[in-house]
Chain A
């Protein structure tokens, strides 16, 4: 028995095309079973499609069947994200939230708690606390690496000269509803929520973080989030 895939190939397999690998028999809403693998489902944010009355999961405006993006707010139905650099004025939910900034500082207490037998010395004099406004939907925290083409928005090399921070250490992200999350991108030395440095946050898991929240990376870097009044 053969079936035909969306590209017109005869397939000897019922589930995937045996020529081009295309998923067979999956309508757009059904592709939510991508979450079967236990990873974050890409499309769970797609609005329910029952009864054909489809609306945008972000702003609630009616959506046409074949739309890839919401005509009103630009919300991406496939990935469940807002366009990068989306203007705040177009994202109704984010309107109400004040802009945030990060305060990047050197924390001697964290340094004392975290560093074991490693011969590292804090910069002298201690660099001043720096303010970095959070703009866009994604803010990379790390160390600039020209050779690898990594230019983090929060570059600790320039701010706290911390050698124990990875090039791509962590990411601050603004979700569709305007709330921020923190994700460790698989850093070598981890990201911590307390200065005691007891338990690093799980790599790849996005944790909500609000104004007033703080976290610690590398050997002595502390980052505080605050609303810009």
Chain B
């Protein structure tokens, strides 16, 4: 069973009349039993796109999808419950016929035999795929519930509101890591799925990389030990939670996911945790101003698990008229504010570039290069350099590249929310 602790980074000093408290909260789970095996059972559903477009490239995609799915099945540890869904304009559960199978050498062999025979044909309606997965997960409320969704195309065979309704019906039921194969899928669509379902999203540009990617996703799912962890925030009467964002390992705004516990307390679902991981959250809360010299609690941070909540950190506010104290900028808060601005600049820059507004694109992507350089986000610098030529990273002087591969622009977009932690890099 994982044990949770937290550390708060903030400048607790507010000027007279100040109401806004910013804090970065690092939550760390550590394994107290030292065992790597999940303490709750894992249910894994693999959803593979089998639409007609998967036949492109003389069947390279479908062959890679078969091999990657087989590799994922091979990676499942004995005892994990699993199922495989083939997605087209409908969803077909291909293994087992219904419910789940328990991983063993026999079931793994049977599953791979079925996977080998799957054919690609038909359209893409991801909402139906998610609903099919939900029907499986509904029967396993006390397990760690995880899925992989692979697609190579856009959601063409159902209206957007249908997908949105399907996503809404799956929130809290399972987590979903989404992967787009090639360059014909839509980043915004998959991001919507992965953000709502507390998962990740990434591009697999080349079918040959799929097998490795699937092994890694399953490997990381099998490390999870506790499902349905929530961050519980108490804030004082009259306070507003302006936002709560996960800021590491990537940026995810949790504010709209708040679940009311009582008048002063909200839960923010964090999904499943392994016994060895650490995530950072940026909280901004607005509280009624106190008098100079007053000290108050801006937020009490608790970790909720199995209906039990344990306090792990305090966010404080002290009013002072010493500007030297109140104007001090906390390093962690400043760092993640910069990382959020970086993600925003990339997003806006790419949108302007796609719309043909080269001036805005150059300015925004230049600012992104400058921020990535300043904060030591080496991966973002590398991805940006495939889209712009950098003249001077310090001032953000860049030129848009004329020849840009779609896969590079999509990789930059999809990975724009990845952050680095304070102290890495410059």
**Chain A contacts to B: CB under 8 angstroms:** 16-23, 26, 28, 31, 34, 37, 39-40, 42, 68, 76, 78-81, 84, 118-119, 138, 163-164, 171, 173, 183, 185-186, 188, 203-204, 206
- Is residue B123 contacting chain A, with contact meaning CB distance below 8 A? no
Contact B264 A31 (CB under 8 A): no
**In chain B, residues 236-253, which have Cβ atoms closer than 8 Å to a Cβ of chain A?**
236-239
In the complex, the chain A residue whose C-beta lies closest to that of B318 is A34
Complex: how many Å from CA A31 to CA B287? 20
Contact B322 A186 (CB under 8 A): no
Complex: how many Å from CA A78 to CA B329? 20
Q: With A19-B236, A20-B236, A34-B12 known to touch, is A78 a contact of B321 (CB < 8 Å)?
A: yes
Contact A21 B297 (CB under 8 A): yes
Which listed residue, A22, A138, A204, touches B328 by the CB 8 Å rule?
A: A204
Contact B292 A31 (CB under 8 A): no
Interface footprint category on B: 35 or more
Contact A186 B331 (CB under 8 A): yes
Query: Which residue, A42, A173, A188, has most C-beta atoms of chain B within 10 A?
Result: A42
- Residues in B with CB closer than 8 Å to A19 are 236-237, 264
- Is residue B300 contacting chain A, with contact meaning CB distance below 8 A? yes
Contact A20 B329 (CB under 8 A): no
Contacts beyond the supplied A22-B296, A81-B324, A171-B324: 5 A-B pairs with Cβ under 8 Å: A17-B297, A21-B235, A31-B295, A80-B322, A119-B392
- Is residue B425 contacting chain A, with contact meaning CB distance below 8 A? no
Complex: how many Å from CA A28 to CA B331? 29
Which listed residue, A20, A31, A164, touches B293 by the CB 8 Å rule?
A: A31
Contact A20 B237 (CB under 8 A): yes
- Residues in A with CB closer than 8 Å to B287 are 21
- Residues in A with CB closer than 8 Å to B329 are 185-186
Contact A163 B293 (CB under 8 A): no
Min CB gap B381→A, angstroms: 15
- Residues in A with CB closer than 8 Å to B293 are 28, 31, 68, 78
Min CB gap A21→B, angstroms: 4
Contact A42 B292 (CB under 8 A): no
- Residues in A with CB closer than 8 Å to B321 are 76, 78-79, 81
- Residues in A with CB closer than 8 Å to B300 are 16
**Chain B contacts to A: CB under 8 angstroms:** 11-13, 234-239, 264, 287-288, 292-298, 300, 314, 316-318, 320-325, 327-329, 331, 334, 374, 392, 394-395
Complex: how many Å from CA A127 to CA B265? 59
Min CB gap B128→A, angstroms: 47
Complex: how many Å from CA A31 to CA B235? 21
Which listed residue, A20, A164, A183, touches B296 by the CB 8 Å rule?
A: A20
Contact B320 A118 (CB under 8 A): no
- Residues in A with CB closer than 8 Å to B264 are 18-19
Complex: how many Å from CA A1 to CA B86? 57
Which listed residue, B235, B292, B323, B374, touches A138 by the CB 8 Å rule?
A: B323
Min CB gap B19→A, angstroms: 13
Complex: how many Å from CA A77 to CA B239? 28
- Residues in B with CB closer than 8 Å to A81 are 321-322, 324
In the complex, the chain B residue whose C-beta lies closest to that of A189 is B394
How many inter-chain contacts with C-beta < 8 Å in the A-B complex?
A: 91
A/B interface sample: 9 pairs, CB < 8 A: A16-B296, A21-B296, A40-B325, A42-B325, A68-B292, A81-B322, A138-B323, A185-B327, A206-B324
Complex: how many Å from CA A21 to CA B317? 9
- Residues in B with CB closer than 8 Å to A164 are 394
Min CB gap A27→B, angstroms: 11
Min CB gap A16→B, angstroms: 4
Q: Interface residues of A: mostly helix, strand, loop or mixed?
A: loop
Contact B325 A79 (CB under 8 A): yes
Complex: how many Å from CA A39 to CA B326? 12
In the complex, the chain A residue whose C-beta lies closest to that of B238 is A20
Contact A188 B374 (CB under 8 A): yes
Complex: how many Å from CA A79 to CA B318? 10
Complex: how many Å from CA A204 to CA B334? 13
In the complex, the chain A residue whose C-beta lies closest to that of B317 is A21
Min CB gap A155→B, angstroms: 18
In the complex, the chain A residue whose C-beta lies closest to that of B296 is A21
Contact A78 B13 (CB under 8 A): no
Contact A76 B236 (CB under 8 A): no
- Residues in B with CB closer than 8 Å to A118 are 392, 394
Min CB gap A166→B, angstroms: 11
Complex: how many Å from CA A115 to CA B316? 41
Query: Which residue, B235, B298, B392, has most C-beta atoms of chain A within 10 A?
Result: B392
Which listed residue, B13, B296, B392, touches A23 by the CB 8 Å rule?
A: B296
In the complex, the chain A residue whose C-beta lies closest to that of B288 is A20
Complex: how many Å from CA A21 to CA B294? 11
Complex: how many Å from CA A164 to CA B392? 13
Min CB gap A78→B, angstroms: 4
Min CB gap A71→B, angstroms: 17
In the complex, the chain A residue whose C-beta lies closest to that of B374 is A188
Cβ-closest 7 pairs across A and B: A79-B322, A21-B236, A21-B297, A78-B293, A21-B296, A16-B297, A79-B320
Complex: how many Å from CA A78 to CA B395? 42
Complex: how many Å from CA A11 to CA B374? 45
Q: With A26-B295, A203-B331 known to touch, is A138 a contact of B324 (CB < 8 Å)?
A: yes
Complex: how many Å from CA A26 to CA B394? 48
Min CB gap B22→A, angstroms: 14
Min CB gap B237→A, angstroms: 5
In the complex, the chain B residue whose C-beta lies closest to that of A175 is B324
- Residues in A with CB closer than 8 Å to B317 are 21
Q: With A76-B321, A79-B322, A81-B324 known to touch, is A42 a contact of B294 (CB < 8 Å)?
A: no
Min CB gap B291→A, angstroms: 9
- Residues in A with CB closer than 8 Å to B235 are 21
